[in-house]
Amino acid sequence: MHTLSDCLARDAADPLRSLRGHFALPADLIYLDGNSLGPLPRSAAARATQVVNQEWGQGLIRSWNDAGWFGMPQRVGARIAPLIGAQPHEVVAADSTSVNLFKVLSAALAVAAADAPGRTVVLSERHNFPTDLYIAQSVCQTHGCTLELVEPEAIDGALNSKVAVLLLTHVNYRTGAMHDMAAITAAAHAAGALVVWDLAHSTGAVPVDLNGAEADFAVGCGYKFLNGGPGAPAFVWAHARHVARTDLLWMQPLTGWFGHAAPFAFTPDYQSAPGMARFLCGTPPVISLAALDAALDVFDAAHALGGMAALRAKSLALGDLFIELEEQRCAGLGLGLATPRQHAQRGSQVSLTHCDADASHSAYAIVQALIARGVIGDFRAGAPGEPDILRFGITPLYLGYEDIWNAVEQLKQVLESGEWREARFARKAAVT
């Protein structure tokens, strides 16, 4: 049995404890939603102010050179690279995850068409994040391909000689289930397919080794576990073997001037830049990139304390504690576990279900009641035929063991008191 004093002792002994001070988190709040919008790093607030007032306000257009604005997509990408097992020059920060998916999926199909003509299927998971499927639908239509969707356990069996590209999200947004990137990439390659990984719920939360897995393309999100702020730029990675190709006229279809070999030559014809710059499109969002850049400082501090391995160990310990406390203290209150227990199959969140005979939206209502008590998690509608999800993001950069204790205590009280039934009516009122 865990006790509150055990939790306090674990916090006192936590080597990553000091990292919490990097964040401007409101007092009296337990933030379990950093997988959806990371909190504000103090350094990001300071940097954004400085960019606005000094670099933009005083430097004006001179800052493109003087403050190094031009090189920001590459500089920020280089700082993300060690978190995903990439070389610094292999990552650029740009655009949104959705836009980057469009680029890399198109690039993967262009590579497949050149190397393995006749493959016309993009394979993905039925319960992949919707934007991934929406983008895939459009890219497939443009390329005359078919999008085939399967359950996770059917991926291996569906990798046949028709599959050009396998598009997967590493950590599932609903359940937190994590794929074995190395094994799946190897299986796809053995079947002659390329693999695109979406790292939205992985980057900054679980160790990722893209080069180790010999993956083909990847994208990821700047505003989730990287804490870059709302709408922060996303990133793109492509394996060097693809980036180096010169036989493809366009590596990707969004051939804006920032991906041109000589943007300021103003020549009429597109010529792809060498290296990852070819994945850029238009003018970078400097203020947002600066905030993301500063947000990455906490990962430098974490690096000195054991890096992603230490963050992963603490994330799993916090997740285990959440699951064990929930099972001990909320037994009989209708909760179920939707997240895999096995560490190798779990990302950095705990997802629960709630079963209540006469309340169809109980998961939503419970999350609302928790938020009213200062415990911020979120709700996700279940996959068709599956229960709804109460989702709790575990960010070891700023969460401690006492936070988990208190969050589960609040969950227990919400369920025991039945106060969530009021929140359910509040939702109905808000919807109509």
Ligand X SMILES: *Cc1c(COP(=O)(O)O)cnc(C)c1O
Q: Which chain residues interact with ligand X by CB under 6 A?
A: 96-98, 129, 131-132, 169, 173, 198, 200-201, 221, 234
Q: What contacts 105, CB < 8 A, 6 or more positions away?
A: 122, 135, 136, 139, 165, 167, 196, 217
Q: Are 155 and 170 spatial neighbours (Cβ–Cβ below 8 Å)? A: no
Q: How many Å apart are CA 355 and CA 358, to the nearest integer?
A: 9
The answer to whether residue 224 is catalytic is yes
Question: Cβ of residue 220: shortest distance to ligand X, in angstroms?
Answer: 9
Nearer Cβ to ligand X (126/428): 126
Q: Determine which one of 14, 95, 132, 198 is catalytic.
A: 198
Kindly give the pairing relationship between strand 335-337 and strand 217-220. Answer: unpaired
Separation of alpha carbons 279 and 265, rounded Å = 19
Instruction: Report whether 321 contacts 391 (CB < 8 A).
Output: no
* Cα–Cα distance measured from residue 320 to residue 129, given in angstroms and rounded to the nearest whole number: 25
**How far out from the chain centre does Cα 108 lie?**
21
Report in angstroms how near the CB of residue 375 gets to ligand X at its nearest: 22
Report, in Å, the least distance between residue 172 CB and ligand X: 8
- Of 201 and 373, nearer to ligand X (C-beta) is 201
CB of 187 to ligand X, least distance (A): 21
**Contact assessment for residue 304 and residue 117, using Cβ atoms and an 8 Å cutoff:** no
Catalytic residue of the set 31, 102, 129, 401? 129
Q: Is 198 a catalytic residue?
A: yes
Choose between 37 and 310: whose C-beta lies nearer to ligand X: 37
> Can you tell me the distance from the alpha carbon of 362 to that of 418, in angstroms, rounded to the nearest whole number?
11
Give the active site residue among 314, 391, 412, 424.
391
Residue 391 is a catalytic residue: yes
Token pair of 43, please?
């350094």
Task: Work out how close the CB of 378 gets to ligand X at its nearest, in angstroms, rounded to a whole number.
Answer: 12
Residues facing residue 220 across a β-bridge: 235
Nearer to ligand X, 152 or 374 (CB): 152
428: annotated active-site residue: no
Q: Among residues 398, 399, 407, which one has the least CA distance to residue 373?
A: 407
Does residue 223 have an active-site annotation? Answer: yes
Rounded-to-integer distance, Cα 215 and Cα 193, Å: 11
Nearer to ligand X by Cβ, of 115 and 386: the residue is 386
Least distance to ligand X, CB of residue 35, Å: 8
Q: What angle do CA 356, 347, 227 make, to 5 degrees?
A: 105
Q: Which of 23, 102, 223, 322 is an active site residue?
A: 223
Q: Which of 10, 119, 174, 224 is catalytic?
A: 224
Q: In the complex with ligand X, which residue's Cβ is closer, 200 or 308?
A: 200
Query: Which residues belong to the active site?
Result: 129, 198, 223-224, 391
